[in-house]
Each structure stands twice: as structure tokens, then as C-alpha cells.
Structure 1
Amino acid sequence: MEVHRLNQLHTEQAAKPGTLGMLIKKYRASPDFIDGEIGKSPRTRADYQRVFNYLQAIEDTPLVWFTQARIVKIRDKAFVKLKRKSANYVVTVLSVLFKWGRLRGYIKDNPAAEIPAIPRPKSMPDANRPWQDAEREAVMIALPAHMKLPMALMMYYGLDPNDAVKLPRNAAKDGMVDTRRGKTGVPVWIPLPSPLVEIMEAAPKHDAITLCANSRGKPWTYSGFSSNWDKLKDKYLEQGIIQPGLTLKGLRHTVASILAELGYNDRTIAHMLGQETEVMARRYSKRANRTRKMKGGVADFEQEVSRRKTEVVKLGK
């Protein structure tokens, strides 16, 4: 409701020509933003709107004022107020906005296009680390019956938690899961593995319109499932069956890591995760243990070193 109210403010107030506010208003009214097929998903629109709200104080600023140096200052100021991730997202949204405006003649170039992101501190632990094999097994055994299916959808498909709990009841049919990634809109069409079929058949029966339902037989909300998981996670930590740093989104990293260990390329991993590009796939799988892939390389290297050593010995004689 608050986002809707702020959206109305942007719609009702007349933006000054040639300003950032004008560009935001025109972009927000364009099919590239609101169209259900080619535009942004509802979640992404809400994320963008938070950035537009943050930039509201400088909406009257002429577009010609924006330069790379000034965008960097905006980024750095946002870093102080909003922290690193949000500051980088401000630059991302500005880059999308200016690119859209440049293609339509509202601005000559995109001053946010090549602004580097504020780097992640080296001392900061990785967010959403992959789950260990033992953790996945222990959690699936310990979980209440009504939480097993949504967790399994995240575990076997790498579905985002929000997508998993909102999956329509008819999404699983003919031995497949047919859905779309909520944030990107990218289709996800994957065969049902036998363990997931067994979990689905054992799940408590319900009449909800979603595939998964809570203990009352009603559709899960992300906040509801997340809240239940957080309570159980604390309990599992005390019992020692999981280690610190476990998150629901970490299961996406787990799926990507396992696929990378098996030798699948970034494009395949991106398809599995419903990503538009391979960038996030590489990020999700960066911690993958590529030992299997490297065994052959190490063996070949060792053989080549031995061969060269033999040649040296022969030449010495």
C-alpha cells in the first residue's frame, strides 16, 4: 500500500522537463517497466521504486548535471546511508534508467554505465554459502511434514524461496515442473527427480491453490516460511546438525555448486536457476569444488613432468 501511495505521488506530480524526475516518470510509464511480457516483474518494480523514492530529493536536477564523477558521489553517499549492496543497486537502476533515456533522446550518454561497484570486503564471509551434504540430509529428516516440499523444491531446483512457496498447484505435471522465475520472468522447465516425487506424494493433503501449503492447509507466504525456518534453524544449530551461516537462498548456491562440480557450464547452470545471464550463475557456483575436473589435469601434469625429467636424464648421459 505504501509503494502504491508513493507511485501515485510520482504519477500525480508534474515533473520538470529535462530533469531526473521527468525521466523517472516517463520510464515508469513505459512498457519496458510496466508491461507484463517485456517489462519488469512486480518484485523488480518494487525494488526499482525504492531507489526512485531514495532519489526523490534530487528529482528536479537537470539531466545534463549527471556525470560519472557525480554518479560516484551519489553512490558513495548511498553507501554511508544504505550500505554497500543498496548503494551498488542505486547505480544499477540509474544505469538502466539512463540507458533507456539515451535510446529515446532524453540524454546524450549513460554516465552510470561504467561505474564500478563498491567491492565486497575481503574479511566479510560469503553470503548464502552452499549447504553441506550432511546439512541437507539432516534438515530434510528433521523438518515438519508441511515444510519438506517447499524446502525440497529449493534443494533440487535451486528455486528462490519466494518462488518455491508461491508455485501454483498445476506447475507440477507430466513429470515436470513448469514455472517462471519470479524476479526475472525466465521460464523454468525441469524434470521431476524421483526423490522430489516421493516428497511430493508424502506431503500433507490440502486444497490450497499453491503446490505447497502451511500447517493450516493455506498457501505459504515467504515471510511465514522464512520465520518458521529461522526458529527451526536456531534449534538445529543448538543440536549441532547444521553449521552457522545457513540460509534458504544458500540452496541456490548449492545447486549451482553441485552442477559446476559435475562439469556443467555456466549457461546450463543459468537455465537451471532461471537466470537471464551467466553472470549470476558464475557467482553462485564460484565456490564449487572442482576436484573431479582437476584430477585429470593433475594426472596429465604429473605425467608430463615425469616425461621431461626422463628427457633431461637422457640428455645428461
Structure 2
Amino acid sequence: MTIVRVKGIKRYTHPKTGISYTYHRASGRRISAEFGTPEFFEELAAIEKAHKVAAPTPGTLGLIIDEYRQVEWEALAPATQKTYERVFDILRPIHDMPLAKMDRSFILSMRDRKLRTKYGVWTANYCVTVLSIIFGFARDRGVIDSNPLAEQVRKIKRPRAAETANRPWTEDECRVVLERAPPHIRLPLAVAMCAGLRKGDFLSVKLDAIRDGHIVVRTSKRGVPIAVPIHQILADAIAQRPASASDILCVSSRGQPWTAMGWNASWGTFRRSLEAEGVIGRGLTGHGLRHTLGTRLREAGADDRTIADILGQRSTAMARHYSENAKLPDQAKALVTGLNMTGKRKAAPNSQVSTL
């Protein structure tokens, strides 16, 4: 068999899912086509051609973005890389602009007058967040004297009438969805609801993460190890997991690990059917369950530190010097296992899940 070595690319394999991602080395752009296929080489050639045409000018935003990709890119989670790439594409019209001419007033004016109008409030605010990171990178390397966004920037507020993104679910919505969802959809939602994991984490949790009555993971976004006690809702969903030989906890109806696209499609179809019946409101998301858990914990009397520890927020978790198998304090464990997520009166608990 002939082995063809492809120059100018770099590959990254996610440690949890085993999925490989390929990037054009010079530009940092992800190649979406399957590696080694004709479509892959066509896409690679197109990116290479575009990169040569758009070679960045020294001292410009485009150049510092290229340098940032070369130095910091591989340390970012794939989801973060994807959102950064979208920001870089949005800012492409000003890639040739010298950093020295991009002061605070220019950036905020661009956000308020152009980005907000074309892309919405969240994206406009996020572009400024990413620019602050890029400017900090440039300052540390002597490209500019100071970061014009170093001082905290007040974000654009969403209109009061606007639908809240990733809103918490109501108790009735949690109950209806859990009762109506088939097992392959119920389990990922139960993991998100009871452990507060983001989509990239609740779809990639492995079976061996379930041990000693806890779900033990290291969050992909911040790298924080957490060990959350298993709520009865999650224990019941695990007991009904579809038959599968996979070592991934959440699997499809065919017993295969979920892809992000597959999950979005299946969850979207199921959610829309419930919306059409009028039994749930609009706007339910998997990430909204993370907010749901935080809300229920707050209502149960948890303080900021406890909520942050349970959700794996680095800012306070680091203060407790987590180890890989760290357990939450007894008070926090009791809060998690005792939460009433659906408003139903609690039945006698089943035996505690320890391992699969």
C-alpha cells in the first residue's frame, strides 16, 4: 500500500471521542471533508489558494491572528476553535487593518453599529471578547503597547422582550420531556440535567466515568475534574440505556455513539413534536439544562462556591485543589441527590448506581 504524506496540515484527535480533526497548518482553518478523500484534497487546495491570496500584512489584525493560531490553537477545545473561526471570518474585512489604529472607541463602534445589526447581540459581544484575547496576545509579544480592551467592556444587553438563550427548563418541561423521551434521548438529557455537563461532555462521557455512585469527568472546556453524585433520574435513565457494545455512555437507538450533528437532529425532531402539542415552551436546549441545575441548586440554598464546584467552574474549583477523584462536600452531595427537578413527589429511591 502506498502511503502519501500530506504537507501543510495538522491533525488533532479528541481524547474522549477518538474523532480526528484536520487543519490547514498555515491558516488554522479546519478541513471538513473526510481525510484522504478527493473532496479533502479539493478543499485543502482551495484553502491553500485563498491563504496565499490573503497573506497578512505585518502589524495587522490578520497577521496576529495567524500567529495566535500557530502558538495557542492546539490548546483550545474543538468547540472553542470553531467559535473563534467564526469570529475570525466575521472580522475578515478588517484583517488588513493595523492593530495600532484599532482603539477602544473604534472596536465598540464597530460592535454597536455593524456587528450587532448583522449578527445579533451575542455574536457582537463575543467578537469583542475574542478581540480582547487577540490584543492581549499581541501586547505580550510587543506588537502593540497596550490592550485597548484590557479594561472590562460593558456588554450590549439583550432587549427585555427577547427570548432568553439556553433558558432554564421549568419543572413541568423537565417532567414531560423525561416521560415522553425514548431511552436514547432520555439518557443524554438526564446526564445534562443531573450533572450539568455541556453538550460536548455529556455526549462523550464513557461508561467507566460511572463509579462509586458518582459521574466522574474532566470538563473539556476548562479541564476541571468533577465528581457529581448520581441523581435518581440519572440512575433510572442509565438502567434503560440502549443495548450497545460501545464504551460511551450515551448512545443512539442503534447503540452507536452520538455525533453532534446526529444528536442535534434527533433532539430537534423530538423537541419540535412536543412544541407542536403545546406541552413545552419554545427554546429548550441541552445547555439550558446546565442553567436548570444551577437554578435548582440556588433555590435549594446553595451558595456560589457550591454551584461553581458542582458545575466545574475553574474560578472557584481551583481554590479547593481538585484531584481527579475529588468528591463534593457532603452538603453539596445532599443538595444534588435531593433536588426535585420535575416537581413530582419523590418515590422511594432505587439502589445506588456504582458501576456498569
Q: Do they fold alike, i.e. is TM over 0.5? A: yes
**8 Å contact 2:216–2:227 — kept in the other structure?**
yes
- In 2, the alpha carbon distance for the partners of 1:233 and 1:42 equals 26
> 2-side partners of 1:227 and 1:14: how far apart?
38
The one-letter code of the counterpart of 1:257 is T
Q: State yes or no: 1:21 paired with 2:43.
A: no
Partner of 1:79: 116
Aligned to 2:348: none
- Find the aligned partners of 2:277 and 2:117 in 1 and give their Cα distance: 39
Structure showing greater radius of gyration is 1
Distance across 2 between alignment mates of 1:42 and 1:212:
20
Once the two structures are TM-superposed, the CA of residue 277 in structure 1 deviates from its matched residue by 4.0
Counterpart of 2:340?
none
Write the letter of the residue equivalent to 2:128.
Answer: V
In the TM superposition, 1:300-315 aligns within 5 A as: none
The question of whether the paired residues in 1 share the 8 Å contact of 2:242 and 2:252 is answered with no
TM-score (norm 1): 0.78
- Stretch deviating more after TM superposition (227-236 or 65-74): 227-236
Whichever residue aligns with residue 211 of structure 2, its letter is K
What does residue 33 of structure 1 align with? 73
Gaps of 5+ in 2: 1-21, 23-28, 32-43, 317-356
Structure with larger RCO (C-alpha < 8 A, sep 6+): 2
Q: Distance in 1 between matches of 2:272 and 2:186?
A: 17
| Residues 1:54 and 2:94 are matched in the alignment | no
Q: 2:127 aligns with which of 90, 95, 109?
A: 90
Q: Could you tell me the percent identity over the aligned residues?
A: 38
Residues of 2 paired with 1:123 and 1:245: CA distance?
14
CA distance in 1, matches of 2:257, 2:98: 47
2:85 pairs with 1:45: no
Distance 2:207 2:47 in 1: 32
Match of 2:197 in 1: 159
Distance 1:40 1:111 in 2: 24
TM-score (norm 2): 0.70
Q: Which residue in the other structure is 1:66 paired with?
A: 102
Counterpart AA for 1:58? I
Tell me the alpha carbon deviations over residues 226-250 of structure 1, each in whole angstroms, 9 at most, x when there is no partner. 2222222233234443233333222
Report Cα offsets for 1:109-128 as digits up to 9, x if no partner.
11123432221112213222
For 1:88 and 1:162, the matched residues in 2 are separated by 23
Report if the CA contact (8 A) 2:59-2:143 is conserved. yes
Specify which structure has the higher proportion of helix: 1
Structure 1 residues without counterparts, runs of 5 or longer: 279-317
Shift of 1:103: 2.0
Deviations 1:180-203 (A, max 9, x none): 323333323222234422321221
| Structure 1 residue aligned with 2:226 | 188
- Going from structure 1 to structure 2, the CA distance change for 1:239 and 1:25 (only over 3 Å counts) comes to closer
In 2, the alpha carbon distance for the partners of 1:212 and 1:191 equals: 18
